[in-house]
Amino acid sequence: MELVVDKLTKNYGDTRALDCVSFSLCPGNVLALVGPNGSGKSTLIKIVATFFPKTSGSVLLDGNDVFSIDPAELARYIGYVPQFFSYTKYSTVFEMVLLGRRPHIKWTVTKEELERVQDALDALDIGHLAGKYVDELSGGERQKVFIARAIAQEPGLFLLDEPTASLDIRHQSEVMEVIQHFAQKKRSAVLIAVHDLNLALRYADSVLMLHEGRTAGYGHPENVLTPEQIERVFGIESEVVTTRNGKFILPLRAKKKTAGI
């Protein structure tokens, strides 16, 4: 699905969390949202998911205003993975992923639904955990369960709010590869908030850099994630290193003003 966000603004009381943010995202592409803590990444994702109302601007999904789409219908278009999630000690991995099929299920769970759940589990290589309680899993495995839940939903647009935050380096790469593969194979659009700039550089088709709710850069990752931009927005000196495996951002030192805090 195609997502077009135009001049999106969000106020919390007197505080402006997002200020005239615009971007577009085509089917099959991954757009990484980067920015320091409190720059508005989660707010942006939650507005697109219609969890928060907007103050002004528009959010169009295939040309339709997301806020005018019936929630039950929207659930078939948007899959969301939160930064923090909850579960009970009685929730099994399979049941949790099955929740992703809720928009497609009336009451009875058909064989087809079960197969879709199994496919989502297999895509993240956690099929062997299906019968386990979520409570028994490691942080990384749990994160994969929640991503599998969104994959089982088979949405046209994925919204992922820092899905790699609690994962080790191997799981981070695994999850990003699955997301990238899924976007290309299913032609889904992916909007993902990440803290690791190297993940954005490596896996995203485009990057939106936010700073204090405003767009600080938008475009191809190599054009946005430059040492100058990173220093201006994150307050850290860095270097972009080119290797035979691609480009990498090497953080060097925090700027004196930031370091002194």
Residue whose C-alpha is closest to residue 168's, from 191, 138, 201: 138
User: Least CB distance from residue 13 to other proteins, whole Å?
Assistant: 14
Distance (Å, whole) CA 96 – CA 220: 36
Contact window for other proteins (CB under 8 A) among 87-95, 188-196, 206-214, 217-225: 87-95
Tell me: does residue 86 bind other proteins (CB under 8 A).
yes
3-state SS, 145-188, equals HHHHHHHHCCCCEEEEECCCCCCCHHHHHHHHHHHHHHHHHHCC
Contact window for other proteins (CB under 8 A) among 5-13, 94-102, 205-213, 250-258: 94-102
User: Least CB distance from residue 90 to other proteins, whole Å?
Assistant: 3
**Please, which residue, 25 or 78, has the CB nearer to other proteins?**
78
Question: Binder to other proteins among 16, 46, 132, 195 (CB under 8 A)?
Answer: 46
**Please, which residue, 33 or 233, has the CB nearer to other proteins?**
33
User: Least CB distance from residue 260 to other proteins, whole Å?
Assistant: 32
Cβ neighbourhood burial of 71 (10 Å; 0-12, 13-18, 19+):
exposed
Distance (Å, whole) CA 261 – CA 247: 31
Distance (Å, whole) CA 137 – CA 232: 40
Q: Element (H or E) spanning 15, and its range?
A: strand 15-25
Question: Binder to other proteins among 63, 90, 111, 170 (CB under 8 A)?
Answer: 90
Question: In the numeric block, which tokens belong to residue 214?
Answer: 């405003």
User: Least CB distance from residue 222 to other proteins, whole Å?
Assistant: 33
Total residues at interface with other proteins (CB under 8 A): 35
**Please, which residue, 26 or 99, has the CB nearer to other proteins?**
99
Cβ count within 10 A of residue 92: 18
**Please, which residue, 76 or 247, has the CB nearer to other proteins?**
76
Q: Name the residue type at position 40.
A: G
Return the residues of window 108-137 that contact other proteins according to CB under 8 A: 135
Tell me: does residue 151 bind other proteins (CB under 8 A).
no
**Please, which residue, 136 or 239, has the CB nearer to other proteins?**
136
Tell me: does residue 149 bind other proteins (CB under 8 A).
yes
- 15 φ, ψ to 5°? -90, 130
Tell me: does residue 68 bind other proteins (CB under 8 A).
no
Distance (Å, whole) CA 25 – CA 36: 22
Contact residues for other proteins (CB under 8 A)? 46, 49-51, 71-76, 78-80, 82, 84-92, 95-96, 99-100, 102-103, 105, 107, 135, 146, 149, 153
